[in-house]
Amino acid sequence: MSGTTIQNPIFPGFNADPSALWTENGCYVATSTFNWTPGVSLYHSKDFVNWELKSNILDRVSQVDLRGNGESAGIWAPHISYNPGTGLYYLVYTDVKSLMPSFFDLNNYVITAPDMEGPWSDPVYLNSSGFDPALFHDEDGRSWLTNLSWEFEKRFDHPGFIILEEMDGNSCELKGNPVEIYRGNRKFGCLEGPQIIKREGYYYLIAAEGGTGYGHAVIVSRSLNMAGPYEEAPNGPLITSRQNPHPAADDYDMDFLKPQFYNPGLRLQKAGHGSIIEDDKGRSWLFHLCARPLMPQMRCVLNRETAMQQIVWTDGWPVLVSGGCYPEDEVRIEETVEKTMDITCQGVQEFKEDALGTHWYSLKAPLQEDWCSLKKSPGVLSIRGRNSIYSAHDASVIARRIQHFNFTVETEMDLDCRNFRHMGGLLLLTGSRTFYYLRKYYSRPLGQTALGILVSRNGAPDELVETECPVDNDAVLTLICRVNQPTLQFSFRENGGEEKRIGSIMDATLLSDEYTNNGPGAFDGSFCGMTVQDLDRHANWAEFKSFSYRADEK
């Protein structure tokens, strides 16, 4: 049989809330980055088989500065669009400052560009009424903003409803007052991710319901009037993974994970938050969020990922080509396409280029030369120690997504530690409060430099003093971690010598949404990378000569 099979998820590892756009240059998909900068990952493909992480759009301080943001905050649910009337591409996004206790302090912004690959403008402020903004550009040239309007008062229908308001396509200023257009069904939980598309005279409202856990779904409603009223699709969700696609009212609860909806018959769980496009061949595609829990722990160690499904329009409604409402592991296209690109960026990076690759991110603090430099010592990545990993402001963390269940990561580091407040090393983390840290530091009990493991569980640090191992301060250390889900094991080499294990086999599933249970860091994704602290004068630099990430899938 001719054609090509595409394996889901297409973007493995932390890639939530996809927004897709078909252009003359192929398909672009933007995903959330939460507390990682640069913000908004932009993927591109001309054939749906070979994808490239082209850029991270929010790449300067004037566009994004997440210092001071709370955990699980940052850049949520970006939406990309094109307005033929202005000839501009638009990105709208939410910068969530705090989720606590229930007020959702946030700002929504829009930026524009003459091309999807930039250059992108500085942001224009839109509103702060709720998250997940999206733009729709109608045939008459007018532009409209939708977003969830968050309700925080007990006496109202928490957690909110969808609003619509007009935006000037040139100035990007909002006009008039917001209008409530859809409230959904409260028993399913939060109604979010609203996006409008138009087809054959109908306005279709694509939205997510049920939280981003096991009760997640994409629902579709339509109206001949953009402001409603909207009628719901007769067959229920367009896509969901929950075992019962139509839960009863008494199944409702506020827990965003909703583990009671886990479907043992599916590989892809948590299907929801979708975006629909039509390609140049007239085919329609749904890009959606999903996750792959590790069983029996029921923990999604790769967090929320992006998958795609083909859809058809039947009796004026979108339905999955595969039938029903469950996500498929594989999607076929008619074309025969050779897969030549690896979206997971495996291999060794030796830091010999002028800039870090697009797969590298910093935690909250924007990347700047004064603390993260490829120029200070050519051929290495120099990182200046600043605050602790827990800091909401200036933590020196450079990391990349974890994208495989089983992998080996290692880095070669040179760091002078003559003060117990100096440390640096290899880090695996989800957010800034749950992590494993193999660090070099000065041990006052030993009176010399040592290696040891620091574990943090939901903000509770645990210095594993039994792992303390003396090392030569002048040695170049190769720090290694092998993850064989559900476990991980650290080891090291000193000056390229024999590899030695350090510490016991530990639980790798801590790096998951489920472990944090919607607590600090639940949405921040699982990453691995390099970190340095100087808790004395913020002046001590470490040199990382290389970093390697390699899949070891069984």
Q: Which residues are catalytic, by number? A: 17, 192
**183: CB partners within 8 A, 6+ apart:** 157, 161, 162, 191
The two structure tokens encoding residue 459:
């903000």
Q: ∠ CA 490-494-499 to the nearest 5 degrees?
A: 50
Half-sphere exposure of 462 (CA within 13 A, CB side): 11
Q: Choose among 20, 31, 4, 43: nearest CA to 308.
A: 20
DSSP string, 527-549: EEEEEEEETTTS--EEEEEEEEE
Contact (CB, 8 A) for 383 and 397: no
CB 189 within 8 Å of CB 210: yes
- 13 vs 170, 257, 293, 438, CA distance in Å? 36, 18, 12, 22
User: Cis omega (within 30 of 0) on the bond before 119?
Assistant: yes
Cis link prior to 327 (omega < 30° from 0)? no
Q: Which tokens in the block code for residue 362?
A: 């910093």
Phi then psi for 249, rounded to 5 degrees?
Answer: -60, -35
Q: Around Cβ 333, how many Cβ atoms within 10 Å?
A: 18
Q: Which two tokens stand for residue 522?
A: 């639940």
Q: Which residue has the tokens 């070891």?
A: 552
Query: 12: which strand partners?
Result: none
Residue identified by tokens 């694509």 is 206
Q: Which residues contact 155 (CB under 8 A, 6 or more apart)?
A: none
Q: Helix, strand or coil for residue 250?
A: helix
CA distance 45 to 47: 6
CB atoms within 10 A of CB 472: 11
3-state secondary structure of 381: strand
Residue recorded with tokens 């756009």: 21
Residues 551, 554: Cα–Cα separation, whole Å: 9
Q: Which helix (H) or strand (E) holds 148?
A: strand 143-149
d(CA 30, CA 43): 6
Return the closest-CA partner of residue 451 out of 482, 413, 488.
413
SS3 content of the chain, % helix, strand, coil (to 5): 5, 50, 50
C-alpha–C-alpha distance, residues 215 and 257, integer Å: 7
**Of 313, 293, 290, 454, residue with least CA distance to 388:** 454
